[in-house]
Structure 1
């Protein structure tokens, strides 16, 4: 077997494993919380829920540039191999999580951070290893296959998590171990350095510190900004969040000045003088910002509203939400290799730009569907959005990696992945913020009206106080929100509720129908904003210029 195919197959396994793990936990959260005896609806548990969901992304986004830079110094394959090993160790630790309760939740978060460190090594180096192994006439195709594995892994994780969590929650972490062991051994045996590491360079400690701390503070601020604070449904007025965002922004601003002065910068700002590199990365970040939160929002919408309305129990909705998202994966898988192959021959600009236009039109189309939509219409829209993303992803990555000299590919790969992952984390915050703000305005009235119509007006004063995040995540986690609401009512009040009213409210369609109009209105606002950012990404992509292959200039 030619080495280039060895490199592609190994890096594809690594990306597939990391991306499966990134989403398998979403579906398995109810089983995990039950397994460690944590009530996901308790106010103190929301921070655990959020950190288990977002902690992995925060860690990978923070470390990608640093690891990419270290790879140029010490060898891409060496650090990629290390990433496989660390990720596998993290998976084993998660499987054997020893404690329960709050301590068990903290252990899960810490072990996910270990996985995130390994994932950062994998993501930072996979594109650079493929770029080194393949000639520029085949890179688009190879990167297309690699990126298909990333998206396919995300959706496979949703389905696999639904299956394994019904057996034992620990199995969702164990599934990564044999793959990780195989990948670790195979990468150490088969992968080889094609670029001589430059060990004469020194680590940019000032740049690493300001960038790492600054980005962590901003991502922490974003994470806690979507958590309740005091009487507010969101935490953007939390002094800690404001301070974190201000200090983080200040550190990143100082980082830019530091990188222009030090002899061996970790973030090579001069690469942004390359038009194709700059345009490709900015377009990618805008695309991630617009699109990164889409999947989880659609899953929450399916789990909390559409599936219950169509007869699915809350315990079944996590699994079926993954099934109904498959058209998005099919669209990406269908177009990814084709667009990569075409970009090798005709360039990236037209394909990547057209892909973003298609995704933007998809967002606009999503604003037209009602909350009780016909599934074929929904499936068609997300299928074409998958096509558009497949049309953008591999040509855009190929153009970025082709535009930089060989010796800087580790740094370039880390920079590309950092901007992409940071955009995705910010996208989650954007979607959650829009949805929570809209629901905090509409939800109290909607629930008060719903309980009155059900025959239990005495509950109005209680449902008005239901936290938006609690209601949202109850449906998302597959818990019946009505039972959670009724469990908080004083016995004297509960005794006044007619049996007929309780029967109405316990119907699986009642809560979903009550919150559906407010939720779909919030989603439409988010879709309009995301559609606008996607069209901007298309415009930036069109400015990338003609094909540029760095080797031809060396």
Structure 2
């Protein structure tokens, strides 16, 4: 498609993809920081089971729907057009944001409405994100894709920071504005998308929707997420729920259904999950390396935020209500580096290939996690912390855009949305799994001494032994989640324990420094466990990235060979013809000539909607030039064609010329198709 797209359309696609990714990223972090205000606004408390459940689903509904639906939406996009589905997703996202901001009611009813609308918002986000990368691959030539994907990658980093700032500020005014601020941006994006992206060529084929595959994928991921969420809640005398038989039942059933899904999808003719793409080595190793890298990124998203909000910031005088905002500000160096090096990674892609650049990025990320183990968790220098974060963002930026380009360039154009959907699904699954993995690592490392440390600190502050026992009987995970969401962990524990303490004792333990000082010695081991695990995951990502094989990216690379493999090539391609070799491919160096490249792309796409679009972008002057080159007419004639005015050539000239020169069979089919389209247009006029 990219050979027939104007520069203005490319810019429109890039801007729309950037805005879509930016809005989606903002709406993850802004909602997390605004959760206390949202729950207070609808009259729910995190200390109740229903409040905790609704809080969790408001957080996880959006990425869960993304993980469930992007593969199905990718398939639908390949069928009906990526631009159309992207624009419809923009509409769904904006409308659901309005519904979230205007949610009526109070209490549990309002909470369930918010969860439902977050599911719808996730569907809109999936329709945009599942197509943004594929659209960029469609409309940008190979040598420019890396930079374009890098620019979109900036939006994820910028959005995560902007979301914390926007959510923190708007939540102080009214929690509804956290969602309503999307509306004006969304309306502008919809209008722009409709005028440009929506009108991009439609899909290649029409096939049946694989509802069985979609249902199995949905059920398996829901069960897996429910099992992971249950694993993060206490069970009996344990701080976590891994001893709960229901956790393993949910995870085992979800995993089994996922395996069944792959078996079924590999055998049916029109699967929703394009399992056959995993036969492509470059695609498979790129997707798997992306999964492990996003698992490792959980240490950046969750572990470092927990470290800052539960320990470091309160020890330095930041109130718990303000820690989510300040944590976002403290983590800015990582986002800045990601924004700088994502486009740089795209440029290096053309010179060194995705295997080298992405592998280097994953290794740098692993090194940054190991460097974190050299810092104390309570009183480190922010300068060194910022330097390590910058290195972390550098690694992430270098990895993502080359890896994305490599994944999508390895698959046929008709499968790009499906491939992008699979990649997005794996990334979202990785992020969802990372929360449970790293919370488990942090608490496992601290489990032997954490409760004893809190108990000793409470008794030393004057809390009666009986009350200290009741307070420490509450699993520490509740206090950590409270700190992560901006609640005072000590007051949360006191409320859950339903105890009353003397004013002087309460004042002593309610100091900002009390809770972080009590848990820091025990938590240090847990944080170091998490850092080492993140480094190992990043190294695994680097290994898979390297195993994708040698890649060479040329500036003039064209993908007509991939298109030829998946379109209906007209009869006659194997006829004896001086312009063809034994494999049926032209002997002429088509890829070095943009006019011939466009004409040959039209030939390979004959009898498709996209083929008609390419044909309509070929001018009469282009056809005369193509006839001259392929028929090996004298150079003076080719020079003459280059200098004449387009309007001096009409259809009769082309028809006459084909009678007197030896036009290749493939170009003759293009000419006939072009004459047919232009004849219809002339009659309509």
Report the alpha carbon displacement of residue 461 of structure 1 after superposing the two structures with TM: 1.4
Q: Note if 1:379 corresponds to 2:386.
A: yes
C-alpha offsets along residues 87-127 of structure 1, whole Å, 9 cap, x if unaligned? 11110111011122222221111111110010111111111
- The CA distance in 2 between the partners of 1:485 and 1:134, in whole Å, is 55
1:36 Cα deviation (Å)?
Answer: 1.1
Query: Distance between the aligned counterparts of 1:484 and 1:444, measured in 2?
Result: 16
2:224 aligned residue (195, 218, 225): 218
Report the Cα offset of residue 216 of structure 1.
2.0
Is residue 75–residue 193 contact of structure 1 (8 Å, CA) maintained in 2?
no
1:244/1:323 CA distance change after superposition, 3 Å: same
User: How far has the Cα of 1:283 moved from its partner?
Assistant: 0.5
Shift of 1:247: 1.7
CA contact (8 A) 1:133 1:194 kept: no
Distance 1:490 1:383 in 2: 44
1:291-349 deviations in Å (ceiling 9; x for gaps): 13531221222112111100112222222111111111111011111111221333211
Tell me the alpha carbon deviations over residues 389-416 of structure 1, each in whole angstroms, 9 at most, x when there is no partner: 0000101001111111111111111111
Partner of 1:398: 405
Question: What corresponds to 2:183 in structure 1?
Answer: 177
**Match of residue 362 from structure 1:** 368
Give the equivalent residue in structure 1 for 2:30: 24
- Where 1:165 maps in the other structure, the secondary structure is helix
* CA–CA distance in structure 1, aligned partners of residues 103 and 170 of structure 2: 17
Q: Which residue of 2 aligns with 1:522?
A: 526
State the match for 1:301 in structure 2. 307
For residues 18 and 492 of structure 2, the distance between their equivalents in structure 1, rounded to whole angstroms, comes to 43
CA contact (8 A) 2:445 2:527 kept: no
* Distance in 1 between residues matched to 2:492 and 2:518, nearest whole Å: 15
Is the Cα–Cα contact under 8 Å of residues 85 and 127 in structure 2 kept in the other structure? yes
Change (3 A) 1:485 1:425: closer
1:164 deviation in Å?
A: 1.1
Q: Which residue of 1 aligns with 2:451?
A: 444
Alignment-derived partner of residue 425 in structure 1: 432
Once the two structures are TM-superposed, the CA of residue 534 in structure 1 deviates from its matched residue by 0.6
Q: Distance in 2 between matches of 1:302 and 1:401?
A: 37
Cα distance in 2 for partners of 1:180, 1:91 equals 9
The 2-side partners of 1:404 and 1:38 are apart by: 48
Deviates more, 1:287-296 or 1:150-159: 287-296
Corresponding position of 1:316: 322
Which of 414, 431, 449 is the equivalent residue of 2:421?
414
Question: More deviation in 238-247 or 167-176?
Answer: 238-247
- 1:32-51 alignment, distance < 5 Å: 32-51=38-57
* Mapped partners of 1:488, 1:246: distance in 2: 32
Alignment-derived partner of residue 471 in structure 2: 463
2:150 and 2:401 in contact (8 A); partners too: yes
Q: Indicate the residue corresponding to 1:479 in structure 2.
A: 487
Residues 57-90 of structure 1 deviation map (CA, whole Å, 9 limit, x = unaligned): 1111011101101111111111111111111111
Report the CA distance shift for 1:384/1:260 in structure 2 as closer, same or farther (over 3 A). Answer: same
Contact 2:441 2:529 in 1 (8 A): yes
The 3 A distance-change label for structure 1 pair 398 and 444 is same
Between the aligned partners of 2:229 and 2:395, the Cα distance in structure 1 is 29
In the TM superposition, what whole-angstrom CA distance separates every residue of 1:466-516 from its partner, at most 9, and x where no partner exists?
A: 22222112222222222334446667x63xx5x554332122101111112
**2:14 and 2:152 in contact (8 A); partners too:** yes
Paired residue for 2:151? 145
CA displacement at 1:384 relative to structure 2: 0.6
Matching residue within 18, 21, 25 for 1:15 = 21
Matched residues in 1 for 2:456 and 2:188: separation? 57
Change (3 A) 1:346 1:490: closer
* In structure 1, C-alpha distance between the alignment counterparts of 2:513 and 2:165, rounded to whole Å: 24
Matching of residues 249-264 of structure 1 within 5 Å: 249-264=255-270
Q: Which 10-residue stretch deviates more, 474-483 or 378-387?
A: 474-483
Distance 2:543 2:509 in 1: 49
Match among 129, 134, 141 for residue 123 of structure 1: 129
The answer to whether the aligner puts 1:114 opposite 2:104 as a matched pair is no
1:244 corresponds in structure 2 to 250
Gaps (5+ residues) in structure 2?
Answer: 1-6, 563-685
Aligned equivalent of 2:192: 186
Could you tell me how far 1:195 is from its partner in structure 2?
5.0
Q: Say if 2:509 is the partner of 1:505.
A: yes
Q: Secondary structure at the match of 1:2?
A: helix
Contact 2:366 2:535 in 1 (8 A): yes
Separation in structure 1 between the aligned mates of residue 199 and residue 161 of structure 2, nearest angstrom? 32
Alpha-carbon offset, residue 54 of structure 1: 1.3
Q: Aligned pair in 2 of structure 1 residues 448, 85: CA closer, same or farther (>3 Å)?
A: same
Q: Which runs of 5+ in 1 are unaligned?
A: none
- In structure 1, C-alpha distance between the alignment counterparts of 2:74 and 2:117, rounded to whole Å: 22
User: CA separation in 1, counterparts of 2:374 and 2:131?
Assistant: 40
Deviation at 1:148, TM superposition (A): 1.1
Tell me, yes or no, if the aligned pair for 1:41 and 1:474 is still in contact at 8 Å: no
SS in 2 for 1:166: helix
Aligned length: 550
Tell me, yes or no, if the aligned pair for 1:132 and 1:194 is still in contact at 8 Å: no
CA-to-partner distance for each residue in 1:333-377, whole Å, 9 max, x for gaps? 111111112213332111111100010011111122111211111
Secondary structure of 1:233 counterpart: coil
Aligned-pair distance for 1:243?
2.2
Which of 1 and 2 has greater Rg? Answer: 2
Q: What is the aligned counterpart of 1:535 among 516, 535, 539?
A: 539
1:32 Cα offset (Å): 1.0
Distance 1:479 1:251 in 2: 38
Whether the 8 Å contact between 2:146 and 2:346 is mirrored in structure 1 is yes
Judged with a 3 Å threshold, the aligned counterparts in structure 2 of structure 1 residues 49 and 243 are, in CA distance, closer, same or farther, namely same
Distance 1:269 1:165, change over 3 A: same
Q: What is the alpha-carbon root mean square deviation over aligned residues?
A: 1.9
**2:415 & 2:495 partners in 1: Cα distance?**
59
Alignment partner, residue 617 of structure 2: none
Tell me, in whole angstroms, the C-alpha distance in 2 between the residues paired with 1:118 and 1:250.
Answer: 29
Deviation at 1:200? 3.2
Which segment drifts farther, 433-442 or 145-154? 433-442
